[in-house]
Amino acid sequence: MDLNGINEYYRMFDRSWNPYSEQGYRHYIRSLEVMKYITKHQFVKELLDKREIKILDLCGGCGIGSTALATVILKRLTDKHISITIVDIRNEALSIAKKWAKERLGIDVETIMLNALEIHKLKRKYDIVLLYGNSISHFSPWDSLILFSTLSDIITDKGIVIIENVDVGSLLLLGYKHIWTEKGPVVNIHTSYDLLKGTCNRLCMAIGKGKKGRVSLHFWYTASLGALLYCFFKELSIMMHPWELWTSYIFARNPRNMRIRKGDIVNILGRHSEFCR
């Protein structure tokens, strides 16, 4: 994971993800509708039998996903007690997340600035682990081996992992290859491809603001992401986004208890890097 690149990348999208901006608030309202849809899934309905629900919003940014999810659950089931932990590497986003959740939910959420690949250091278990907003694209397949191994170890007995994915096949059909214009407005340009890591290196420039940054992304096919997750979890289910045909949600539970060590991945990448220069 390119942590510096991710910070630069998201600074150009402040208005899109900050719920106090017009764009960000509209995104929050859409997220409420998405969460109404997600909570109808059988895995989630079975989990909601619990009196207390612990949510981990991983790569949670301004907390739009977890706040929307908790809002929907509490509106439907007023007797539930929900605690939220939001983890991200951007301290400014976490400050917004804490304030937003307090205003919307009336609770104090925990915010932690931490690399998602080091989440095992918290030594806690959660009922729902949420990766919302296509955050999974920041993890290469090698990173994901470590991430999924860790996630399988930090969910409770009935715990669920929920991952949002924007399918690369759909992106290619929409023309996302060399140059792409995103909200901001931001021009997103393909610069190179890392064969060993499977990541596309993109140069992003905020039009009229003089801001630019580089970020490495791995665009997942929903099928390949689901197949990899299935190596770590015995139960898997895929739900399409209620109105975006290119977005899906993958639900995973019942870990297989398969462990992948970071050192093994480092050794593999180091041993073969000379062939990919």
- The band of 204, judged by pLDDT with boundaries at 50, 70 and 90, is confident
Phi and psi torsions of 118, nearest 5°: -115, 20
Residue 187 pLDDT more than 80? yes
Band of the pLDDT at 211, cuts 50, 70, 90? confident
**pTM score:** 0.91
* Other C-beta atoms lying within 10 Å of the C-beta of residue 191: 10
CA distance 35 to 127: 16
Lookup: tokens for 274: 């000379």
Q: What is the domain partition of the chain in residue ranges?
A: 3-174+219-262
What is the pLDDT at residue 178? 76
Estimate to the nearest angstrom the gap between the alpha carbon of 42 and the chain centroid.
Answer: 21
> Would you say residue 27 has pLDDT above 70?
yes
Structure tokens at 277: 């220069």
pLDDT value of position 4: 62
List pLDDT tens digits, range 75-96. Answer: 998 888 999 999 999 999 999 9
% of the chain beyond a pLDDT of 90: 64
Query: What confidence tens digit (pLDDT) does each residue in 29-42 have?
Result: 999 999 999 999 99
What CATH number is given for 3-174+219-262 in this structure?
Answer: 3.40.50.150
Mean pLDDT of the chain: 89
216-266: pLDDT as tens digits = 889 999 999 999 999 999 999 999 999 999 999 999 999 998 888 888 888
pLDDT, one tens digit per residue, over 103-150 is: 999 999 999 999 999 999 999 999 999 999 999 999 999 999 999 999
Query: If pLDDT is split at 50, 70 and 90, which confidence band does 8 have?
Result: low
Which residues, at least 6 apart from 107, have a Cβ–Cβ distance to it below 8 Å? 82, 83, 84, 101
Question: Confidence band (pLDDT; 50, 70, 90) for 3?
Answer: low
How many CB atoms are closer than 10 A to CB 208? Answer: 8
250 forms bridges with which residues in the sheet? 163, 238
